[in-house]
Amino acid sequence: MVICNKRGGKQMYYAEYESPVGRLLLLSDGCFLTHVLFDVEVPEGAVSGENVAVLEKTAAWLHDYFRGDVRPIDIPLNPEGTEFQKTVWAELAGIGYGQTRTYGDIARAVRGQSGGRMSAQAVGQAVGKNPISILVPCHRVVGSKGQMTGYAWGVEKKVWLLRHEGIAITEKERIAAPAWALVRNDRES
């Protein structure tokens, strides 16, 4: 059993999770979840996290998620990134299951926190660097008209995850009008 010292460690632990949408690599420093990545190789020097509690908890959460059992995320996360990236990722974490936001929505929220200027493109770059897929739901961010824009792991995975969460997607890979209107109206009221 790995003993967590609450600061994380230098050793990287890994676990693999076979999901319906592809193999996920889970990485931890022994205390915190640091990465959930699709279809990548185990980093050199990482060791099996067979008895690492945070990896076991993450695998259990993912199992429930893919079964459609939605529950809050109570897993300690520690993604590495700039302060700006972490601010954007915190906004992503607030997007609920079955909901979407646009890059512009995220930019306005971040701008409101910082008081400075913010572009949807800058937000898009930060979203694309999110190291904790699914749990920090970058797949829930769409283009300004509901279109499926870039996803680091491929648009087909993004579409699959959104459909799994009950979001209707048209053949042209856009959020269907009724679902899109509900999300927009809910956010604006």
Phi, psi of 94 (to 5 degrees): -85, 0
Sequence-separated (6 or more) residues with CB below 8 Å from residue 150:
124, 128
- Rounded Cα distance between 182 and 174, Å, is 14
Q: Which residues are catalytic?
A: 138
Residue in 26, 17, 74 with CA at minimum distance from that of residue 52: 26
CA geometry: angle 156, 105, 168, nearest 5 deg: 35
